[in-house]
């Protein structure tokens, strides 16, 4: 889609410094952009790229003051990053083919009503007594078990599996291969050293505006519900165990693992490969760095790193000390040798 800088600025409520009539037909990172591209500058550490970028136009903060001439046209906005996100979402909506109707073959169970505005892709299976909201898209090879509830404007990408009885809120996106409601990892040890499976009779509840990444798994509760609260964003390849609760607007990067019955609060930012022990509580507004291990409960407003996770500044000091350890060991050996020579 081609658009002039002037038209684009009008869409986003920005002001233009440069050529109003320049044509935008693509998007790119500031260091990779070529003629015709729109890019953005939100992080000051990337400012040096703006002087050499080949982009036609750059979204910048309205107060940005270049230190030397910039060849690209500047579009000044309140928040360049959010503005770009809104534009990309708009372009994505235009580019995506509007899906509708029921392809064949599919299976739709007894007692399940599919609305006229629902899309169901080929080889999908929808069980008995499933409730499906408005404008739902169910892509090919999805499985929706009996008595599942799906809200309005939900998208299930290819290969999503939702087990019986689970509930999906409004405006949720489940990426390809995600599994909702598989059995929790419950086994009772027996006297002979073997294990007996404990039936997992609960469900999974996913509230509104949640996105679940590809191949992420959320286990059903042993009893009650595993709950993912409103606005949560989960990356790919995350494991959420039985009876876990994740609070509103918490975000998690790939390969996080959460053991059973752990409760995580609101507005947490959790890096990749973080591991949470079971039966602990994590408060609100925490930042937990990648590859941290969290064995105990955590309060609010903390910044943690390491395994076991500790205060991020303390962890940084420990890392600095570890880098000096070889020299310290050399110094100790030298002192020991000097002491031995004196004796």
| Cβ neighbours for 143, distance < 8 A, ≥ 6 positions apart | 124, 125, 160, 161, 162
User: How many Å apart are CA 144 and CA 146, to the nearest integer?
Assistant: 7
Active-site hit among 164, 242, 267, 279: 242
- The answer to whether 245 touches 264, Cβ cutoff 8 Å, is yes
Q: How many residues does the chain have?
A: 343
Is residue 181 within 8 Å of 202, Cβ to Cβ?
Answer: no
Contacts (Cβ under 8 Å, ≥6 apart) of 323:
none
Alpha carbon of residue 146 to chain centroid: 28
267 is catalytic: no
> Which token pair is 181?
């409601």
- Report residue 333: phi and psi, to 5°: -65, -40
User: Which of 112, 117, 174, 101 lies closest to 145 in space, CA to CA?
Assistant: 112
The set of catalytic residues is: 242
């Amino acid at each position: 889609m081609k658009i002039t800088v002037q038209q684009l600025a009008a869409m986003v409520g920005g002001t233009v410094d440069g050529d109003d009539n320049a044509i935008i037909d693509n998007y790119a990172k500031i260091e990779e952009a070529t003629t015709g591209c729109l890019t953005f500058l939100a992080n000051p550490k990337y400012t040096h790229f703006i002087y050499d970028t080949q982009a036609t136009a750059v979204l910048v903060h309205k107060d940005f003051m270049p230190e030397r001439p910039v060849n690209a046209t500047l579009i000044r906005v309140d928040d360049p990053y959010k503005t770009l996100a809104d534009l990309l979402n708009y372009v994505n909506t235009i580019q995506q083919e509007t899906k509708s109707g029921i392809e064949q073959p599919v299976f739709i169970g007894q007692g399940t009503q599919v609305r006229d505005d629902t899309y169901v892709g080929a080889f999908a299976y929808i069980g008995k007594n499933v409730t499906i909201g408005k404008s739902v898209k169910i892509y090919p090879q999805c499985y929706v078990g009996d008595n599942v509830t799906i809200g309005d404007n939900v998208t299930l990408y290819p290969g999503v599996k939702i087990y019986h009885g689970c509930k999906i809120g409004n405006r949720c996106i489940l990426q390809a291969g995600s599994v909702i409601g598989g059995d929790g990892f419950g086994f009772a040890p027996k006297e002979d050293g073997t294990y007996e499976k404990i039936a997992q009779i609960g469900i999974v509840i996913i509230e509104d505006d949640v996105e679940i990444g590809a191949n992420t798994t959320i286990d059903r509760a042993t009893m009650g519900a595993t709950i993912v609260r409103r606005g949560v964003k989960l990356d790919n390849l995350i494991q959420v165990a039985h009876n876990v609760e994740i609070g509103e607007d918490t975000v998690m990067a790939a390969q996080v693992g959460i053991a059973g019955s752990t409760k995580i609060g609101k507005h947490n930012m959790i890096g990749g490969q973080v591991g949470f022990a079971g039966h602990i509580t994590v408060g609100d507004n925490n930042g937990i760095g990648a590859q941290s291990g969290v064995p105990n409960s955590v309060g609010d407003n903390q910044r943690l790193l390491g395994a076991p996770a500790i205060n991020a500044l303390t962890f940084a000091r420990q890392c600095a000390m570890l880098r000096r350890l070889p020299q310290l060991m050399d110094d100790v050996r030298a002192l020991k040798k000097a002491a031995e020579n004196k004796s």
